[in-house]
Amino acid sequence: MSETSSDIASLMAALAAAETRASGLEADLQAARVALSQAQAVASAADEMIKHLRLQIAKLRRDHYGHSAERHAA
C-alpha cells in the first residue's frame, strides 16, 4: 500500500511540475504574440510610409518633368 501512495505522490509531484512548466510556456507564448503583433504593426507602418513616399516621388517627378516622366519611370 505504501508503494501505491509513493507512486501517487510522485505522480502528483510530476503533474505539478508539468503544470508549472506549462504555465511558464503559456506566458512565453503570450509574450511572443505581443512581440509579433508589435512587429506586424511596425511593418505595416513601414509599408504605408513607403507607399506615401512613392506617391510623393511620383508627384514631384510630375511637377518637375511633366507627365512624360511617368512613362519613363514605369
pLDDT tens-digit profile of 7-27?
A: 999 999 999 999 999 999 999
At residue 66, the pLDDT reads: 83
pLDDT tens-digit profile of 24-64?
A: 999 999 999 999 999 999 999 999 999 999 999 999 999 99
503583433: which residue's cell? 37
- Domain range for 16 is 2-73
Exposure letters 9-31 (e unless 16+ CB within 10 A, then b): eeeeeeeeeeeeeeeeeeeeeee
- Per-residue confidence band for 6, with pLDDT thresholds at 50, 70 and 90: very high
Number of separate domains in the chain: 1
DSSP letter at 21 equals H
Report in angstroms the alpha-carbon separations of 54 from 5, 50, 70: 73, 6, 12
